[in-house]
Amino acid sequence: MTIRHILSGAAAALLALSAASAARAFEVVEKGIRIVDPWTPATLRPNLGNAVYMLIVNETAAPVHLTGVKSAAARANSLHVTVFADDGVTRMLRIIEVEILPGESLVLEPEAMHIMMTTLAAPLVKDQTVPVTLTFRELGDITVDVMVEGATAMEPRERPNPPAR
């Protein structure tokens, strides 16, 4: 293999990576907080809880604290973390607040930290969006449109960014 081959291979890999992330990310920036790819799986039954996932990036110069979540789609909403205990039992613990340092991210993803919506007003159907509001102690409320994916989805689909406000 020549140097040229190695270089072009590396360049192609880089290009693929940036193309993937460019196509992939649905992002909203408000009050210095970047929300990336908010999504939830479709519900199978209306009385089941639904977990909501997203990436939250603190682009402000100070720490922020996520202190609450709410949505008109459900009666109760809270922050949870899934814990896999030594006894083999999986539990979800309620989190009161989470600090995000400047430049740091909070990852909400399956089998980890998530927003839990319980007592849904109606089943969530694939392709609809539901508004979810994040409350930060320092910044107040930020509302994002969460995309409903298939019931067995483990990651969000690609979708275009919303028009800038």
Residues within the interface to Cu ion (CB under 5 A): 80, 92, 116
Start-to-end CA distance of the chain, whole Å, equals 50
DSSP string, the chain: --HHHHHHHHHHHHHHHHHHHHHH--EEEETTEEEEEEEEEPPSSTTS-EEEEEEEEE-SSS-EEEEEEE-TTEEEEEEEEEEE-TTS-EEEEEES-EEE-TT-EEEE-TTSEEEEEEEESS---TT-EEEEEEEETTTEEEEEEEEEE-TT-SSPPP-PPPPP-
Q: How many residues does the chain have?
A: 165
Cβ proximity to Cu ion, 120 vs 139, nearer residue: 120
Cβ proximity to Cu ion, 91 vs 137, nearer residue: 91
Cβ proximity to Cu ion, 92 vs 153, nearer residue: 92
Q: What is the nearest approach in angstroms of Cu ion to the Cβ of residue 114?
A: 6
Q: What is the nearest approach in angstroms of Cu ion to the Cβ of residue 118?
A: 8
Cβ proximity to Cu ion, 57 vs 115, nearer residue: 115
Query: Longest C-alpha distance within the chain, in Å?
Result: 62
Q: What is the nearest approach in angstroms of Cu ion to the Cβ of residue 52?
A: 10
Q: Nearest residue by C-beta to Cu ion?
A: 80
Q: What is the nearest approach in angstroms of Cu ion to the Cβ of residue 153?
A: 16
Q: What is the nearest approach in angstroms of Cu ion to the Cβ of residue 53?
A: 11
Cβ proximity to Cu ion, 70 vs 80, nearer residue: 80
